[in-house]
Amino acid sequence: RMMIEGHKMSVAYFDLAPQPDFEKYVKDYSDFLVARGEPPLTCTRALTVEELLPKCDVVSIHTALNEHTKHTINAARLGLMKPDGVLINTARGPHVNEADLVAHLKANPTFVAGLDVFEEEPAMAPGLAECHNAVIVPHIASASLFTRGGMATLAAANVAGLLQTYPIWSNSSDVKPFLEGPVSGIPKMCPSIVNAAGVGLSK
């Protein structure tokens, strides 16, 4: 959404399943722009990564890391991207084969990579730090006031909830009730204990 609203970019995405809510959001925003005399935006789903990459000016990775997504971006797929393309990885470092990326950056000086995470974090692949077409930051993509403030609020709510024997919040993927509104309105529950089962807590 940041790319859509911030840069008025059309979006192509790859996902194993269609994302109708996201596609509707893009259509609604496009209609809003058109009504104000601006160009429309589009949102299309690619059926494979190989179909997606040649279409995109900017490729941003947002996926979980597992045995199927490790090295999603390798030499072959980098070769499918535009010569002046931009690759952004703020997800997990091993999504990108860093040795392949270094070679691609050196061979394609108009290609740019923006990395917040690294394959062998905190180490970087040899040669990456010397690539002038790589923008490298130390895993700080979450460093906004809202995000860090929210993390602190959730941690405090977890501690307070455990001390008062509150139950575990049933939907840990939706913690907005703990982050919006006054402190007095925070639910009397523990919002986000990822390892609850492992420490003997039940929902």
Q: Report, in angstroms and rounded to the nearest whole number, the Rg of the chain calculated over CA atoms.
A: 21
Beta strands in 64-110 (DSSP E): 86-89
Q: Could you tell me if 196 and 168 are in contact, meaning their C-beta atoms sit under 8 angstroms apart?
A: yes
Catalytic center residues: 92, 121, 139
Tell me the three state secondary structure of residue 176: helix
For residue 118, give every residue at least 6 positions away whose Cβ sits within 8 Å of its Cβ, in sequence order, or none: 93, 98, 124, 125, 128, 139
Q: Could you tell me if 70 and 37 are in contact, meaning their C-beta atoms sit under 8 angstroms apart?
A: no
